[in-house]
Amino acid sequence: MPIEWAGLGPELLLRLDRTKSQPLRVQLELGLREAIRTGRLAPGERLPSSRELARQLGVSRGLVQECYGQLHAEGYLSTRGGSATRVAQVEAGAVTPAPSQPDVPVATLTADFQTGLPDLASFPRGDWLWAQRESLPSAPTAVFDYGDPRGSVVLREVLAGYLRRVRAAASDPQRMVICNGFAEGLVLTLRVLRRGGIRRVAFEDPGYGDGETSASAARCGVDAIPVPVDASGIDVSALKASGARAVLVTPAHQWPTGVVMAPQRRHALVAWAQDCDGVVIEDDYDAEFRYDRDPVGALHGLASDRVVHLGTVSKSLAPAVRLGWILCPPRLADAIVEEKKLTDRGSPVLDQLTLATLVRSGRYDRHLRRMRTIYGRRRQALVDALGAHTPDIRLTGLAAGFHAIAHLPAHLDEATVIAAARGRSVGLHGMSTYRASRSTTPPQLVLGFGNLTERAITRGIATTADVLTGRRNGSG
């Protein structure tokens, strides 16, 4: 059965700068032309409908239609018999390729503001089953053999196109390795760096704290050096001073502070890597879930020769899928592939084929759009509940992903607040665990809302309002 495309619009990362005097229509035309010329949008690739792109960019549909018409006239786009607009098939060589580039058991909690979990109940079971049924019967017998340690070429090609389109990453399927989530991608990368003589790897502070990520760094024989993060992302001057030659960052949505890495910092970080022959490991954390602002492209698109880009479906689908990807810089690619081969001979291929079908069919994009709306509402429920019950508590972190930072009154003690909330069957989690120093000041909470209903969020905050504010009697 052919893959069903109708009604499932793809997404496309394009930026319009409203501060520029250049008209939006011109910007859009230039952006699309550039994406096609550089190969970020491949021949035959489907574009969003004019209605959908207009909605994504906040412009009129007429403006998008005019742009599509112009690019159509120039031969960049094609439309056949009223079907979707696609990038025109061009003669080989005409397009320049992209540069290579607790004490109370959880079950008894009425609301647990646990971090890092997407809405598990929203896993698209029907779509996953559909994609399994679609991909398995037509898979060649050879897929049941040991395959390429990099993973299924089908998935690598689909993901490379997806990442170019949505994350503006300079992805090349030849230098992509499918792995078991971010966790494995990081370990493979750190082992390769360690063998290449890099012993000191900088980590964002606050960041992964004393969790599994730091523990696995230690097992790879790497010293994790904390480097502070401010409102613009990692402090590159402090990074320079640290003596590290590799750094792990979360530019799209910093974990856990929730800031996005500012453009100047991105450039400074790349310059740092170039100056010291260093490597930036990009954890593309939460990139799928920017629901209030223009998305920011991946760092990988800026310097694919310096950035190891790690992606995962743990947040977009579910952690249980255990699939992720590594976009390897050319000089590390062979070593990472070898490491993957020696570690587990490759990740499960049948699930990779299922994921490829899900992405290619547009159902993955559709799921993300649906989840963005759900997480947007949940974040709003959190903002509203704090506004209603604890108006003095400041909430920071982008309107993105599914966590935010609550700044508690300075006189409160994080651990005491958490313990008191547990006594009311509400799970709260403190920032101190994510700080290298474990400092409990300033007292802050990292509130995860991905796996909580709006009702549970509202109740959880209402129930703990007096605890959060330090008021004796919570009038709520």
- Site for ligand PLP, residues 219 to 258, rule: CB under 6 A: 250, 255
C-beta of 245 vs 253, nearer to ligand PLP: 253
Residue 443 sits at φ, ψ, to 5 deg, of -70, 125
Site for ligand PLP in 251-270 (CB under 6 A): 255
- Distance (Å, rounded) from C-alpha 457 to C-alpha 113? 8
Q: Which is nearer to ligand PLP, 205 or 283 (CB)?
A: 283
Question: Is residue 178 at the binding interface for ligand PLP, with CB under 6 A as the rule?
Answer: no
Distance between first and last Cα of the chain: 56
Subset of 275-304 contacting ligand PLP (CB under 6 A): 283, 285
Residue recorded with tokens 């952690």: 319
Cβ atoms of residues 382 and 159 within 8 Å: no
Q: Nearest-CA neighbor of 187 among 158, 221, 211? A: 221
- Shortest Cβ distance from residue 324 to ligand PLP (Å)? 5
What is the DSSP-derived secondary structure letter of residue 89?
P
Stretch that binds ligand PLP, among 150-158, 170-178, 312-320, 437-445 (CB under 6 A): 312-320
Smallest gap from residue 317 Cβ to ligand PLP (A) = 10
- Beta carbon of residue 253, minimum distance to ligand PLP (angstroms, whole number): 9
Helix pair angle (330-344, 181-195), 10° resolution: 110
CB closer to ligand PLP out of 52 and 286: 286
User: Least Å distance between CB 322 and ligand PLP?
Assistant: 7
Least spacing, CB of residue 469 vs ligand PLP, in Å:
29
Beta carbon nearer to ligand PLP, 129 or 320: 320
Which one among 226, 324, 401, 450 touches ligand PLP, defined by CB under 6 A? 324
Stretch that binds ligand PLP, among 37-45, 176-184, 330-338, 467-475 (CB under 6 A): 176-184
- Which residue from 147, 173, 319, 470 is in contact with ligand PLP, where contact means CB under 6 A? 319
- Asked if residue 48 binds ligand PLP (CB under 6 A), the reply is no
Q: Sheet of 223-230: strands edge to edge? A: 176-179, 324-327, 307-312, 279-283, 246-249, 200-205, 223-230, 233-234
Stretch near ligand PLP under the rule CB under 6 A, chosen from 55-63, 103-111, 180-188, 381-389:
180-188
- Report if residue 182 touches ligand PLP, rule: CB under 6 A: yes
Instruction: Tell me: does residue 181 bind ligand PLP (CB under 6 A).
Output: yes
Q: CB of 309 within 8 A of CB of 299?
A: yes
140: left (phi over 0), alpha (psi -120 to 50) or beta: beta
- Is 209 a binding residue for ligand PLP by CB under 6 A? The answer is no
DSSP codes joined into one string, 263-280? HHHHHHHHHHHHHTT-EE
Q: Which of 128, 14, 8 is nearest to 63 (CA)?
A: 14
Using CB under 6 A, pick the residue from 56, 257, 304, 314 that binds ligand PLP.
314
Chain residues 112-151 in contact with ligand PLP, contact rule CB under 6 A: 116
Binding mask 58-97 for ligand PLP (x = CB under 6 A): ----------------------------------------
Nearer to ligand PLP, 12 or 178 (CB): 178
Residue 379 CA to residue 461 CA, distance in Å, equals 12
Contact 305, 170 (CB under 8 A): no
Q: Each residue of 194-208: b (16+ CB within 10 Å) or e? A: beeebeebbbbbbbb
Residue 123, both tokens: 């896993």
Binding site for ligand PLP (CB under 6 A): 116, 181-183, 250, 255, 283, 285, 312, 314, 319, 324
